[in-house]
Structure 1
Amino acid sequence: MSTKRSDSIKIALLWPRDVPKWHAATPQEYRLHRVFEALAALGIEGVPALYADDAVDQVRAQLLACDGVLVWVDPLFTGRNRKQLDALLRDVAVQGVWVSAHPDVILKMGAKEVLYRTRDLGWGSDTHLYRTNAVFREEFPRRLQEATPRVVKQNRGNGGQGVWKVELISAAARVAPTVRVLEASRGSLPEDLPLDEFMTRCEAYFADDGCIIDQPFQPRLPDGMIRCYMGADKVIGFGHQLIKALIPPPPEGPNSEAATPGPRIMHPASAPEFQALKNLIESDWTPQMMRALDVDAGSLPVIWDADFLYGPRDASGRDTYMLCEINVSSVFPFPEQAAPEIARLARDRSLTSRRTLDR
């Protein structure tokens, strides 16, 4: 059982020690300084917790002295994964520390498999799941011929790693199929290669119980991506960005200014242009997702986001929306007005967890 006991609430904010963009000399310069300020406004002590695999014991002691922990660590960071961190978070959660997002919830919501498990929701598309390399090799070539291009995604990753646009460019009889592939990571170039060679490249995605998700490419990708920021089951803001991932680079090259994604323009939850999407995700899609994934309201992360691409317009000319991915592990940046809601939810969840322990 945790050794913490006091009338005040203490919440750790955990981020990776060895990722330069998170470094800061003073609390005012922390990337999460607005969350610290929002916690303080509620009388909550926010504690920085800098995680590294070689500091597990120290971080464990720090977290056990807190009521809760808010976590910002990508699935892949500095060449490592979250195995040790997730084990630590599960351990402290068992001992009474409230954790958001809990690793078990991340596996349900934040991995790409959610795209398959929720494919029948209104945000879904023609999505397929391959759990083994043998099934991938048997089924993917046929789907590529039926509907090209496709987007192949490894189950866990960030920054566009392991996300590929795949387009069949040659399938003549008695000739090995050739595909044009483009990875979503920044600076990638299109590459033409045999389909078999590409599938061999994907074998690594099945390691450690991994899988591959396969979706249709959305032609309206150049219209941008809408990031819907959620505080538990309510929208707390939007971000719209003209992205360049999976779009062939301009003649100037993949690292040119012309290939640079546009800025993410933040909008409040009340933004008129996104009210149709807001109503859908709050009233329909999030409750359906929770049932499909067996996630209760109290386990929803206090900050997560759902990325949507524009789908084909309906018969009335209205936009539809296709889910691209859900981000749970490290949602940043987020709209300015999200910080107070993060703090409020963290306070309420920590108090609920404390009352449960005191019974």
Structure 2
Amino acid sequence: MSAQQRQVAILFPADPSRGLETDLHQSRHAETAAALGAAGVEVIGAPYADQFAEDVQARLLNSDGVLVWFNPVEAGRDRRVLNGLLRDVASKGVFVSTHPDVIDRIGTKEVLYRTRHMGWGCDTRLYTTPDAMHSDLPASLRGGSRVLKQIRGQSGEGVWQVTLADQARSPSYALPGDAIVRVRHAKRGSPEEIMPLAAFVDRCRIYFRSGGAMIDQAFQPRITEGMIRCYLVGDRVEGFGEQLVNMLYPAPSGSSSDQAPLPGPRLYYPPNRGDLQGLKDRLENQWVSELCAATGLTQSQLPLLWDADFLYGPKDASGEDTYVLCEINVSSVHPFPPSALGPLVQGVVNRLSGA
């Protein structure tokens, strides 16, 4: 059967006032739907909320595939109901991008720990309990400032910079039983606070609920130079985004934390941007395959559209940039560069035809 005879659903958040009648062609996914239609793919909308799960499931079972654009944690919700629905329709032969199992493997910040030995990694630790965090964090703080991140979160929620309050001590200094730390939340305007480590761990206990955990990474001083987002379709880089971020960006000397600069706009670039070809080459020819090996995925299981965010690491011996993975986004990647739309459509067509 040709792709022209196949149907794909686009799953996106339902408008609370319109429910299942939310119009796909009035949503931010209208351009994607139109491009798929122009390629001969029939596209239907699947506006989603948990209360419509059975109706949406029926729509998906009548389709050959579903592209999921649904933020997993936005507005305090979770994906338990949706994930069960998607796993069920996938088991019945509907291709799902991105499948919940793939999200679990590469779409949470635990991937930073799983891939810490790769070329995009840095000194990274995983705490699965508050007690482990209280016990082991002091040792990592001896090496300098750290960034603590809950494994599921967005927009800086649950992301903290932590530094020993007394940095004058030598690395061999035996920390007291409850070190004093400086902490600052990543939300813009959050003040720096000084507190005992135990108090900070207590504040973080919420992130360990329901199987949660915390990632501990070395702070990257070049954060002030911005973040590079690489957009991939399958295993190919199809565009870039660049943004001056403000999470944990220091305020001007002598200013209060709420004077930290606003984030700049995210600017989009095609995949042939000259100064990022080294990063593109490493992703396509090394890091993506290493990511799959580290997480037990095949390259055919990679999302049809996903992105990887990188901070600048220290310059290497030859003066070239290095890159440190900040996070991977696989569940609600939008907007994306115009250069990625054609490859995304072709990826859908290929998936439908079994290519």
What TM-score, normalized to structure 2? Answer: 0.91
For 2:230, which of 228, 234, 241 is the aligned residue?
228
1:132 alignment partner, one of 115, 129, 134: 129
Q: Which residue, out of 139, 144, 149, partners 1:148? A: 144
Match of 1:310 in 2: 312
- After superposition, where does 1:154-169 map in structure 2 within 5 Å? 154-169=150-165
SS of aligned partner of 1:240: strand
Distance in structure 2 (CA, Å) of the matches to 1:27 and 1:55: 16
1:265 match: 267
For residue 112 of structure 2, the aligned residue among 90, 110, 115 is 115
Aligned to 2:333, the other structure's residue is in SS state coil
CA distance in 2, matches of 1:6, 1:119: 40
| Distance (Å, rounded) in 2 between the aligned partners of 1:30 and 1:198 | 41
Query: Is 1:39–1:340's contact at 8 Å kept on the other side of the alignment?
Result: no
Decide which of 67, 72, 84 is 2:64's aligned counterpart. 67
Asked whether 1:214 is paired with 2:216, we answer yes
1:304 CA drift (Å): 0.5
Aligned residues: 344
Amino acid at match of 1:9: R
Which digits, 9 at most, give the CA deviation of each residue in 1:266-299, with x for residues without a partner?
1100110110100010001001111111111211
Tell me if structure 1 keeps the 8 A contact 2:23–2:45. Answer: no
Tell me, yes or no, if the aligned pair for 2:230 and 2:239 is still in contact at 8 Å.
Answer: yes
Distance 1:202 1:156 in 2: 13
Question: What's the TM-score, normalizing by structure 1?
Answer: 0.90
Change (3 A) 1:26 1:89: closer
Give the Cα–Cα distance (whole angstroms) in 2 for the partners of residues 8 and 291 of structure 1: 35
SS of 1:220's partner is: helix
Q: Which amino acid aligns with 1:114?
A: V
State the Cα distance separating 1:122 from its structure 2 match. Answer: 0.4
Q: Which runs of 5+ in 1 are unaligned?
A: 354-359
Q: 1:119 to 1:6 in 2, by over 3 A?
A: closer
Residue 105 of structure 2 aligns to a residue in which SS? Answer: helix
Question: Helix, strand or coil for the counterpart of 1:259?
Answer: coil
Aligned: 1:33 with 2:30:
yes
Measure, in 1, the Cα distance between the counterparts of 2:16 and 2:292: 32
CA distance in 2, matches of 1:317, 1:135: 38
Report if the CA contact (8 A) 2:25-2:33 is conserved. no
Secondary structure, aligned partner of 2:354: helix
Partner AA of 2:280 in structure 1: K
Assess if the C-alpha contact under 8 Å between 1:253 and 1:259 holds in 2.
Answer: no
Q: Give the C-alpha shift of residue 177 in structure 1.
A: 2.4
Once the two structures are overlaid, the 10-residue window that deviates more, 279-288 or 45-54, is: 45-54
Bigger mean CA offset, 163-172 vs 308-317 = 163-172
Aligned match of 1:357: none
Q: CA deviation at 1:132?
A: 1.9
- Residue identity in the other structure for 1:155: I
Amino acid at match of 1:195: L
Deviation at 1:64, TM superposition (A): 0.9
Q: Secondary structure at the match of 1:260?
A: coil
CA deviations 1:143-167 (Å, max 9, x no partner) are: 11x1121001111111111111111
Residue 26 of structure 1 deviates from its aligned partner by 5.9
RMSD: 2.4
Q: How far off is 1:111 after superposition?
A: 0.7
Q: Secondary structure at the match of 2:217?
A: strand
Amino acid at match of 1:56: A
